[in-house]
Amino acid sequence: MPLSNRKTLTQYLIEQRRRFPGASGELNALILDVALACKAIARSVAFGALGDPSTRQLAVANGGDDLGGSTNVQGEVQQPLDIVSNEIFIRTTEWSGHLAGMASEEMDAPRQIPATFKRGKYLLVFDPLDGSSNIDVNVSVGSIFSILRAPTDVVDSARDVTEADFLQPGAAQVAAGYAIYGPTAILVLTVGDGVAGFTLDPNLGEFKLTHPDIRVPAETQEFAINTSNSRFWEPPIKRYVDECLAGRTGVRGKDFNMRWIASMVAEAHRILMRGGVFMYPRDTKDPAKPGRLRLLYECNPVGFIMEQAGGRASTGRQPVLGVKPSALHQRIGIVFGSAQEVERIERYHHERMPVEVESPLFATRGLFRD
C-alpha cells in the first residue's frame, strides 16, 4: 500500500471509537499523548552518544549522576535515558485531564496529578525504557504501557490515588502497547479489538498503520530463555527445554532454534512477527522472588497484547491476566508466545513430574570419570 494511503494512528483510533457511540474520546486522546511520549523517547534513543547534553542534565537533576548511577525502587542501576524517558512520560501525559494518576517502574510510589491540572478517569502504568542496559551495545529497546480505569471514588471525589488503586488484574486493562526503538520506531497497540502495529514516518512525525491485525503463529520452532539460569529451573521448564534441544530425533520431532536478546520488548516483537515462545519463569535462584519481570509494567501489557493477537501468556501455572496483583512492583514468572507451546508448558507444570534420585548404583559408568 502506498505510504500516503496508510491510516495514521489518529485515524485508526477514530475508527475504533466508532464501535462505541457513547465514548467520550478521552481514551483516544490519552493514547495519542502516550504515542507523543514514545516519539520523543525514540528521538533521544536514536541520537545515542550524540544526544543533547540537556538529556544528562535532566538525569542529574532527577537524582542520577553524569553516568546514570542512581538506583530505582528495585535496586537496579538507572541509565540516564531511564530517568529522562520517565520524565518524558510524566510531562507528556499528566496535563491533559485524562489521568487520575500514574505509576512507573522508575518511581517508588504512584505519581499524583498536580492540583493545577484537571483529573481524569484513567490510570497509566508504564516502563519508560525497557532493556536500557542494552543501549550501549545498540540493541533494540522500548517502552511498555498499560491503561486502567481509575476506581469510581477516585474520579468522583478527586482523592489522591493510592497503590491499591493500581492493583487490578491484567484482564481489567482498557488498552496496552509498546514502542520498540530499533532500525525503525514501531508502536504496537491493542484497545481490546486485536493488535495493530504503526511505524513512525520520520518525514511526517506520524505513526502509520503498517501491521494491521497482527496474529501470533500457533506453531513455532523458536524459544527464548536465559540458559545461564538453567541450574535454577523448575523440572517442567527443564523438561520443555531439553525436549526442544533434542531436536528432530527427540519427542518433538523437529529442530528448534534458541534466541535471547535480554530486552522484553524486542523478544515480544519478534514473537508477534514470526512466532516463538519466551520464558522467564519462576526459579530457585532467589526464593524470595517468585520471578524477575514486573507484573504491572511488563507482564500484564505484553500478556494482553499476546492474548489479543491469538497467543497466550501464562505464569506456567495460570493465565497472567488472571493474577491479582499484591504490590505495585510485584515480580512474577512469565511464559508467552505461540499458544500451543505455552499450553504445553502449562501442562508440564500441572503433570506429576518423576522425582530424580541420584544413586551410585545407577550412575553413568565408563572408562573415564568427569
User: What confidence score (pLDDT) does residue 218 get?
Assistant: 85
Give the separation between CA 352 and CA 343, rounded to whole angstroms.
16
Q: Between the CA of residue 279 and those of 66, 171, 198, 233, 331, what are the distances in Å? A: 35, 21, 26, 11, 14
User: What confidence score (pLDDT) does residue 17 get?
Assistant: 87
User: What confidence score (pLDDT) does residue 65 get?
Assistant: 47
Q: What is the rounded radius of gyration, in angstroms, for the C-alpha atoms of the chain?
A: 22
Give the separation between CA 302 and CA 309, rounded to whole angstroms.
11
Give the separation between CA 204 and CA 98, rounded to whole angstroms.
26
User: What confidence score (pLDDT) does residue 1 get?
Assistant: 54
CB 312 within 8 A of CB 336: yes
Q: What is the DSSP letter of 319?
A: B
CB 12 within 8 A of CB 209: yes
Residue 23 C-alpha cell reads as: 465514548
Q: Between the CA of residue 221 and those of 133, 224, 248, 263, what are the distances in Å? A: 28, 11, 11, 20
Phi-psi group of 97: left, alpha or beta (phi > 0 → left; psi -120 to 50 → alpha; rest → beta): left
CB 116 within 8 A of CB 61: no
Domains of the chain: 3-211 (3.30.540.10), 222-350 (3.40.190.80)
Q: What is the DSSP letter of 296?
A: I
User: What confidence score (pLDDT) does residue 366 get?
Assistant: 47
CB 200 within 8 A of CB 207: yes
Q: Is 201 exposed, middle or buried (0-12, 13-18, 19+ CB in 10 A)?
A: middle
User: What confidence score (pLDDT) does residue 69 get?
Assistant: 54
pLDDT along the chain (370 residues), means of 10: 78 89 87 98 88 53 50 65 95 96 96 94 97 86 97 88 97 98 96 97 95 93 96 96 96 96 94 96 88 96 98 96 97 97 96 57 45
Give the separation between CA 359 and CA 337, rounded to whole angstroms.
38
Is 0.85 topped by the overall pTM?
yes
For the chain, helix (H) and strand (E) counts, in that order, are 10, 15
Q: Where are the beta strands (DSSP E) in 106-233?
A: 111-112, 122-130, 141-149, 175-181, 185-190, 196-201, 206-211, 222-224
